[in-house]
């Protein structure tokens, strides 16, 4: 039998207590902000029928062609681990018959999976937070969803580290006209395009604008601009979005190169980027997808949302200066001395935990070893109980920072430990 590989699968990582505490803070801070905007939490399965993602992400997207974890289950069904949440949330919206409850506002958090080349800021199992707003066609929804993203980033102390990039894809007539202009332009330079972009030219020319190929980027610099193809209605919609953001004091930069290649995206697209992440600069991204629900078999329903990577948010958040983040609470160590004290220490520890105190019970060793472990655990205090103390109904309470020690009646111990709770 071969030896078991004692390391995580490539592109995954273990979240140890200190890091997980930061992950949880990011998620719960975001959830709290989302609740202030009226968004309720939703949780979908981590896998769906493959068609849910393949239909919505497009057959030419890198996610579908190269990155999904897809397999046949024992019943012969094709199953895919979710590479993103939007399609899953829309599927849940349709499956649960929520069309009569519009508008629907959902916040989510959890793991997603993509088979990518692992690098800094990009994992095969990663974690996302996000929000989806379904059922509102007015530009006010776009303003609100971007404002929520801004509030989430502000709660993490990141507004000084991120820049909002904003663009409009216009309405369907705008998009159709722009597609025609792109095809005419890139067809004149077809031989200079990368292989992937030549394929996209036939099926989805807007996705060429997403290309990272150096040769493609040179051609993209001279490509037609979306603004030149936008209808008056689309321009008015985008103006309303910008005016709303300005009214809220949310700074933005217009970026005409920012696109979404899938047909169901329209009007507003946006990204929050940060120089602190190096090449993987996108922190949070979103856009309006008025055609998605209909594509999935539901009634025409407008929608807009965003997603953000938790790992990336953790990486650029300064937890030391965030007034709302607290490190793990320092425990109180209970140190029994002698066999008779062991059982009583167990009961005492349980009683104090019931009162909400963080208690570490010292299991074995002499006094010196137990105190050494208490210091290693960064305990704020030690409760020392021996046979003589138990006979008198008292314990020795030692402040491990100051070294001061006092005798406390067991009945008063919980109250005495209140002074250490905030440490």
Residue of 56, 46, 115, 103 lying closest to 79 (CA atoms): 46
**157: nearest Cα among 327, 326, 319, 272:** 319
The SS3 assignment for 105 reads: strand
Classify burial at 62, counting beta carbons within 10 Å of its beta carbon; exposed 0-12, middle 13-18, buried 19 or more. Answer: middle
* Position 135 pLDDT exceeds 90: yes
Which has more pLDDT, 10 or 116? 10
pLDDT in tens, 344-397: 899 999 999 999 999 999 888 888 898 999 999 999 999 999 989 988 999 999
Look up the pTM and report it.
Answer: 0.89
Q: Classify the C-alpha dihedral 321-325-327-330 as positive or negative.
A: positive
- Alpha helix locations (H) across 85-231? 86-95, 139-155, 172-187, 195-203, 214-220
Please report where in the chains the tokens 């807009």 appear, as a residue.
304
Distance CA 26, CA 46 (A): 20
> String of b and e for 177-205 (b: at least 16 CB within 10 Å)?
bbeebbeebbeebeeebbebbeebbeebb
Range with lowest mean pLDDT among 2-11, 165-174, 245-254? 2-11
How far, in Å, CA of 90 to CA of 339, rounded?
A: 61
Closest Cα partner for 92 from 42, 133, 49, 46?
Answer: 42
Q: Give the residue among 320, 317, 310, 318 at the shortest CA–CA distance from 121.
A: 310
pLDDT tens per residue, range 145-163? 999 999 999 999 999 999 9
pLDDT tens-digit series, residues 191-226: 888 888 888 887 788 888 878 888 888 888 888 888
Tracing tokens 């220490």 back to the chain, one arrives at 345
Question: How far, in Å, CA of 87 to CA of 94, rounded?
Answer: 11
Nearest to 88 by CA among 49, 127, 140: 49
Q: How many CB atoms lie within 10 A of CB 234?
A: 22
Average pLDDT, the chain: 91
Residue 190 banded pLDDT, cuts 50, 70, 90: confident
């Amino acid at each position: 039998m071969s030896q078991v590989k004692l390391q995580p699968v490539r592109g995954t990582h273990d979240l140890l207590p200190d890091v997980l505490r930061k992950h949880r803070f990011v998620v719960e801070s975001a959830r709290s902000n989302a609740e202030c905007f009226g968004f309720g939490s939703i949780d979908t399965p981590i896998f769906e029928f493959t068609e849910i993602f393949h239909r919505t992400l497009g057959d030419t997207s890198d996610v579908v062609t190269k990155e999904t974890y897809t397999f046949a289950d024992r019943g012969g069904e094709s199953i895919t681990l979710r590479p993103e949440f939007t399609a899953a949330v829309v599927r849940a919206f349709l499956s649960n018959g929520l069309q009569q409850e519009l508008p629907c506002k959902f916040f989510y958090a959890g793991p997603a999976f993509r088979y990518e080349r692992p690098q800094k800021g990009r994992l095969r199992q990663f974690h996302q937070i996000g929000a989806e707003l379904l059922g509102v066609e007015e530009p006010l929804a776009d303003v609100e969803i971007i404002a929520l993203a801004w509030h989430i980033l502000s709660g993490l102390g990141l507004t000084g580290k991120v820049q909002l990039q904003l663009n409009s894809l216009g309405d369907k007539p705008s998009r159709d006209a722009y597609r025609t202009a792109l095809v005419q332009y890139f067809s004149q330079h077809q031989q200079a395009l990368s292989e992937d972009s030549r394929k996209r030219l036939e099926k989805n020319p807007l996705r060429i604008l997403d290309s990272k190929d150096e040769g493609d980027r040179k051609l993209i610099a001279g490509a037609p601009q979306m603004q030149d193809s936008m209808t008056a209605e689309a321009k008015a919609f985008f103006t309303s979005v910008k005016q709303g953001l300005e009214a809220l004091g949310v700074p933005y930069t217009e970026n005409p190169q920012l696109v979404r290649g899938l047909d169901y995206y329209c009007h507003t697209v946006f990204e929050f980027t940060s120089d602190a992440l190096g090449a993987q600069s996108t922190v949070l991204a979103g856009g309006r997808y008025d055609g998605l629900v209909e594509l999935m078999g539901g009634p025409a329903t407008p929608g807009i949302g965003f997603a953000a990577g938790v790992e990336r948010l953790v990486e650029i958040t300064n937890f030391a200066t965030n007034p709302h983040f607290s490190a793990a609470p320092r425990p109180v160590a209970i140190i029994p001395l002698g066999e008779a004290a062991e059982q009583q220490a167990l009961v005492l520890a349980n009683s104090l935990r019931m009162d909400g105190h963080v208690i570490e019970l010292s299991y074995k060793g002499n006094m010196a070893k137990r105190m050494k472990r208490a210091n290693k655990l960064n305990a704020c205090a030690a409760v020392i109980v021996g046979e003589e103390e138990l006979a008198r109904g008292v314990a020795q309470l030692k402040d491990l920072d100051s070294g001061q020690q006092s005798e406390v009646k067991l009945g008063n111990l919980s109250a005495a430990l209140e002074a250490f709770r905030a440490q």
